[in-house]
Structures are given as C-alpha cells and as structure tokens.
Amino acid sequence: MIRTEGVTDVTEETFEAEVLGSALPVLVQFTADWCGPCRQLAPVLGESAREEAGRIRIVQLDVDREPGIPVRYGVLATPTLMVFRAGEPVRSIVGARPKRKLLQELADVLDPGLTGP
C-alpha cells in the first residue's frame, strides 16, 4: 500500500469505525499500489490531512486487498475520492487533482455553512 504521512489506512474491518462512525467528514481515497495517479495524489492528501486536521479526516483503502468496500460503493476506478459525512457518501471525485483544485471541490464539505445544512 502507498504510505502517506497523515493518512490512515483502513480495511473492511476498520471501515465502519474509522469512516462511517466518524464525527468529522472523512475523505476516503480508494487506491492501489499499481496506480500511478494515486502516487501523484499521495503528497496532496498528506498535506491536506495535516492542514485540514480537525475539519476532515483523510484515509485510504487498498482496492485490491479490500475489494468489498469499493464494490459496495460502486468504485470503478482509482483513484476515487469519496467523502462520507454522518456515515453517508456525499461526494465522489475520480482522478488526481492538484491540492488547490481538490480543496476547491471540497469547500462545501470543509465549510458546510457555505451551502446550508
């Protein structure tokens, strides 16, 4: 698995507690060792995890080692970034992004008051 400082690895065994049960929104990167764009995204997610700590958690799940979760949520490509809030998926982004673009796409998740309840 791609190791990224500040990003927690989750498995099928820990997904419910780490993602669905989180009080904070959680960004899940569905990743794989062979995925080039996932490697490009790793430093972006690591920086974002440190800078946005307390507003969003960032975790990663290896689609080859843990195939059940990606199937459950209809993940067909890597990297797919899926944001969960209160145990429900609220946003899905496919493909790598520069940090600025990613944070723009996540602005309403990071600051829910921007779009209302």
Residues annotated as part of the active site = 35, 38
The one-letter code for the residue type at 93 is I
- The CA distance from 106 to 47, in Å, is 15
Q: Could you identify the residue written with the tokens 């290896």? A: 62
Q: Judge contact between 21 and 77, C-beta under 8 A.
A: no
Q: Could you identify the residue written with the tokens 């940090």? A: 99
Q: Where are the beta strands (DSSP E) in 32-74?
A: 57-62
Q: What is the distance of C-alpha 35 from the center of its chain?
A: 15
